[in-house]
Amino acid sequence: MGVVAMAEELNRFRQTLKTAYDLSEFLEDLSEADLRTRKKVKVDMRRCVNQIVQAYKGVIDDD
């Protein structure tokens, strides 16, 4: 993978993390009545972020 392609991958990764961070802030603003939903979404979000991180570790390790 060339430098440009790696930079593009890194930018996509950073944007994904920014989106996850923005979503976590939104979840913090949900009312207490939505506590169960908030917790479920946070668990799902953490799982997705972990999958993304593992995928990018694989890309980095392949180089």
Q: pLDDT tens for the chain, 63 residues: list them.
A: 677 787 788 788 888 878 877 877 777 777 666 777 878 878 888 888 888 888 877 766 665
Residue 36 identity (one-letter amino acid): R
> Which one-letter DSSP state was computed for residue 29?
T
pLDDT of 29 reads 74
Measure CA 43 to chain center.
12
pLDDT of 48 reads 83
Token pair in block for residue 61: 């390790």
Whether the model pTM is above 0.85? no
pLDDT of 35 reads 77
pLDDT of 14 reads 81
